[in-house]
Structure 1
Amino acid sequence: MIELEKYQSGHYEKAYGYKYFVPTPINEEWVWRTSAINKLLEKAAVKLGELNSFARLVPNIDLFIQLHVTKEAVVSSRIEGTQTNMDEAILPMEEVKPERRNDWQEVSNYVQALNEAILELKKLPISSRLLRQTHNTLLQSVRGEHKLPGEYRTSQNWIGGNSLADAVFIPPSHTLVNDLMGDLEKFLNNDEINVPALVRIAIAHYQFETVHPFLDGNGRIGRLLITLFLVSEGILDKPLLYLSAWFEKNKGLYYDNLSQVRTKSDMLQWIKYFLAGVEQTAAQAVNTLSNVLELKAKIEQEITAEFGRRSNSALILLNSLLENPYTTIEKASKTCGLSYKAANDLVAAMQQKNYLVEITGQSRNRIFIFEQYLNAFKAD
């Protein structure tokens, strides 16, 4: 049993010319006397419950999930230095400027990795196998493609600094990774301990980032782990909660709180910070979904009232834009089964109503985005 207030985060071991940190295994019963945790836990659980209920009531929730996932991919990748924004992330690769395609690919891989992992959860529990599979997808054809995609590291890594000599933090030796990750996996799936799911994933996220089991992509996989766990536990039916925006809002605070656990064994503060993040992020997700539903209803009403013969095609195009908020005349023509000229007229009518905004400034090969919808996701 680990008493939160007496928790010892680990110890250092010597290697040749440096010391690495070995975290304490976490697969134990955790208990605490600090009642503030219970209050934060309750608030976070209530907001998560609201988000889940809200999502169940939203018709076609899957339409909106894709943009939630895209936003998460953009923000989580931005924490790692990737520059793609939401407007670019929704476009197909051929529409992205060549010099921006590598960053676009990283975000695209993240979306694919998350979507595949959610499907895999139907067959696999949260496990090393699932995390390695997800990591493999994440690193395909991008910067980290030579850093053992889909495999735990077989050499020492470090965080911050240019080398082991000036590193800010040195995770455990690669020889310990399999055992530590096995312990983390058991902790997440252990039915014999009474640790609330949100406290469990807070501790597991800290442990994952401390073990740093991969040579690259640890931050993104560690953040994905949070969403995957909530879905696997049935706390969320759909992947609608992402903490990357909370962590990114004050990156320094995120890293400081993780660091305080390692240096001062202050797991208490980390869990408080994490639970506050869950509460605020779930509330923002409900807010975003409410705004999006209002926007959809308002535009559908306007189209029905003002678009006459075109209203049916306009509603079909609107539905397609809710799933992926960009179009071209060719795409609109295919989506709605219209001739090029009729599609051009329809897009022009939707542009006039400010539903669509042209983003290339060209007279040919024009790209239109559903800006109001994108802005609803950017707002939080």
Structure 2
Amino acid sequence: MRKNYEVAIIGTGPSGAFAAYNLAKKGISTVIIDKETLPRYKICGGGLVYRGRKMLDFSIDEILEGEFNQVDIFVKDKDVHFTPKREMPVISMVMRDTFDELLVKKAQEFGAELLQNSEVKSIKNGILKFANSDEEIEAKFIIIADGALSPVSKLAGFEDDRLLIPAIEYEIEVPEEDFVRLSKSVRFDIDAAPFGYGWCFPKNNHLSVGVGVLKTKAKVKLKDYCATYMKDLEINTIISETSHGFVIPITPRNELVKGNCFVIGDAAGFADPIVAEGISNALLSGKIIAEAISDGNLEVEKTKEKYIEKVNEKLIPELKIGIKLAKFFYENTTIRNLFVKKFGALAAERLTDVFLGKSTYPSDYKKKLQEKLKISLPWM
């Protein structure tokens, strides 16, 4: 049996679900497909920065695990601490199972269909076939939004040239005294791991603690780094824990479209390179592809032009700047520390403005760094 849609979306994460929501609102027939059954656990710190949250034109209060108007940023190597504060929630905490399910339900309210427990085994001529069903789906547009590993992009013939950085996260239950102490704020710890950082995100009744590193060629001992980080956080007793290793794509693919297949979100490599935050850009890319399909009058070639144009305008430039800034920040620690000592508070404020969507990473970052530090930076 074959069903026909204008758009088939593979993946129910923020990018796929928000694309479905925006397409369904425009009256475009859409099916969203997942190999699992919702709600399903998803590895993710669950920090939704304000620039992403303000894209949502509906309330997410029912699934929030916390809201934080300040961020604690520590630089371990220099023993400094910055705490930018704002009137709005800089970071809101969510669990991805409930957040993703809410986005999908909002899409369904406008007519999007959901196909669960359906693993794509092939894509050919706009036709999707599944590993566990004889059912087929034919669509004019196929949006691939199946996350960092993105097996479906491989089926569609995309070359994977993204930079994937390794990370590990622990969901831990700690004694009440530790939970109260660590649940008051969101914190990032630069240098909690060599060439990387750690995070401690409070949820309703547990902590999400993890580390990620940008140095992918060296041997990475993530479990050891995270154990040391927890000691730095003065977590000495863990009542229960689950751990998950994963990768975060922090550089975009060179090819975002192949035939009638489009990649978005982590599948496209759109996570922020500085803090590896992926939800806000996932939402943005979902919105962009929906706009491109609508503005392209449901014509594949016009949609391709619109999608590339919008991505190059709203996403790619900042990602390219971000990866260079990340290399400076995590790999050139001597000069970085000199900068942090003099201008760390200002940099923390600017980063917070990026989280809020009030500004972007500066395109003239190299010139500004050289002017402030009064040194040459030939490696940038």
Q: TM over 0.5, yes or no?
A: no
Q: Which structure has the highest helix share of the two? A: 1
Q: TM-score, normalised by structure 1?
A: 0.32
Q: Write 1 or 2 for the structure with the bigger share of strand.
A: 2
The higher radius of gyration belongs to 1
TM-score (norm 2): 0.32
